[in-house]
Amino acid sequence: MDSTSAVSLAASNTSFQVQVAVAKKAMDHERAQGDAMVELIRQAASVGENLSDGEGRSLDVYA
């Protein structure tokens, strides 16, 4: 392998590693967004349960 091929291979490998790192970061971000959405749903369900069992009667609701 000549030096030009070695440099080209190293550059391709580095580019691939960067692409993988970016993809992992994007997946982590999407996972965090999903976790936040699940938490919001749980909180909303909790509020709904409190309202239905009378615990939330002091809640002011404005239409």
Is 56:47 a contact under the CB 8 Å cutoff?
yes
Q: What span, in angstroms and rounded, lies between the C-alpha atoms of 25 and 36?
A: 17
Q: What span, in angstroms and rounded, lies between the C-alpha atoms of 27 and 62?
A: 39
Q: How many CB atoms lie within 10 A of CB 17?
A: 10
- Torsion angle of the four alpha carbons 55, 60, 62, 63, in this order, in degrees rounded to the nearest 10: 10
pLDDT at 59 over 60: no
- How is the chain split into domains, by residue range? 22-51
pLDDT, tens digit (0-9, with 9 covering 90-100), for 28-57: 999 999 999 999 999 988 887 777 666 555
Is 12:20 a contact under the CB 8 Å cutoff?
no
Provide the pLDDT for residue 5.
Answer: 86
